[in-house]
Structure 1
């Protein structure tokens, strides 16, 4: 995937359902449907003993917000992963609206149809290239996607804002409040942790080559996958004329 090298020069094996016949001491199970059912039960039991990272994040990577929400409350994060997040509150909706407004001030969005995991990750990397170009040219970019590794775990984040002035990059995290007062110390600590994660990923991208082969193998990607014409045109606009 030549786009990976283009992107970062700027700055588990897939599973399939096993169809097998199961035996025990008293009965032979010959129906394929029965074999699938028992095999699925065994897999579900095994899955419950796996880490939350392996159970829920093998296709997406670990989000920076996964780290910060775990620091805030481990059990709450576990329940969100297992049962899904609750309905967004008014404060959460206001925060999302504020972020969208700030993004619109410096970024023009276009709708792209994504056909595969390869194109999903390709768009993230193209947006990273566009964002870093904007940072170097204008001194400011927002909603910059970031992909990196920590102890061989893929970590993904979106930096609210980066500012470049006199050779120094400043990371900015925007937080909205439902009340007109300063956040508590635990909330401030959680915000600092989020910025620390972003800085770690940013510094590592600048200091070390991106582990392309490890990334491809981790998400079972095809490095020769031909990207759609729309995505290739976006890559050209970003200064990365690639095909895969």
Structure 2
């Protein structure tokens, strides 16, 4: 039976948005994910811990550990200001080194506000000779291809299964969608390749400032609020390549977003087919054991989103695994009590 309150109302309404992982995890099994949510179980295994550690190692390869932190815990704006600083730092790393990792991104897919962190963004053959410390004139790019990579940890040498590959592809496509709509000047140049990326969304948010203001309003954030002298000092110390007077004139969410947007707008980038890659890495060595390159598919993303939206907003009963994927149930802690298995009379004995 359907619940009176949706999963979104119960577990995500207080935040006001969904994480990209919220939209992807139910692809494995919606019934299992519902069990986790309703019982407030946060799954954390040794394998997951190794994956987190590997991601941290990869991040520190491109940028040193940051000491940025929330200084005023009563402020709703500071956590988002820190994310904007990380974006600004990421764009500068792209220009300087041709790669950045752990890039926060947010926005909308259709009616849902979404937040995520892109594992890796890189440029093909970037120039390192044009760097100038003044943000007002340091961008002087030629045209470079932009690539997105999502790093996944593998605990065996076998090729990932179809379900794992599907969820990984959908996750990365969400990131690309958010990135292109966050920086619409990139998307406008690539209409021939990404012409099917959420046209309804693009039309509704035709004005760049409109979507930003709508997002702030939805999360009850004040874009004009000054972040204070301590946060300003932190910004200056954490990104010394940006002049102090620039930060002083942009010490608010609106101000920092304007810096990020202006910086990214000056990047002369292009997006090409097959610019999305899933890199599966050995959990112990970090070496890439398998790569999957693919192109953006709005048809696949929209179909996946529709299912996820229905799941989170209680528009239908959660769906478990189909008969051909019942092998997933062998390692599920809810196997013995699973109402879906009982309903379908599946027996989790099949081999993958």
| TM-score band w.r.t. shorter chain | 0.7 to 0.9
* SS at 2:107 equivalent: strand
2:146 pairs, out of 169, 181, 199, with 169
- Check 1:78–1:230 CA distance in 2 against 1; reply closer, same or farther (3 A cut): farther
Contact 1:64 / 1:156 at 8 angstroms: preserved in 2? Answer: yes
Conserved 8 A contact 1:123-1:231? no
What displacement does 1:234 show? 4.4
Distance 1:230 1:212, change over 3 A: same
Secondary structure, counterpart of 1:137 in structure 2: helix
The one of 19, 22, 32 aligned to 1:63: 19
Task: Report the equivalent of 2:78.
Answer: 119
Aligned position for 2:176: 199
Equivalence for 1:132: 91
More deviation, 143-152/225-234? 225-234
Normalised by the size of structure 1, how large is the TM-score? Answer: 0.73
Question: Residue 39 of structure 2 corresponds to which residue in structure 1?
Answer: 83
| Cα distance between partner residues in 1 of 2:83 and 2:16 | 12
Superposed counterparts of 1:192-231, under 5 Å: 192-207=169-184, 209-210=208-209, 211-231=211-231
Q: What is the SS of the residue equivalent to 1:233? A: helix
Q: CA deviation at 1:103?
A: 0.9
Moved more, 142-151 or 102-111: 102-111
Q: Which runs of 5+ in 1 are unaligned?
A: 1-47
Determine which structure has the larger helix proportion and give its number: 1
Shift in Å at residue 97 of structure 1?
A: 0.8
Alignment: residue pair count = 197
Please give the secondary structure, in 2, of the residue aligned with 1:161: strand
Q: Secondary structure at the match of 1:113?
A: coil
1:83 & 1:121 partners in 2: Cα distance?
29
Distance (Å, rounded) in 2 between the aligned partners of 1:231 and 1:152: 33
Query: 1:232 — aligned with what?
Result: 232
Q: Which has the higher contact order (CA 8 A, sep 6+)?
A: 1
Partner of 1:49: 4
Q: 2:155 aligned with 1:178, yes or no?
A: yes
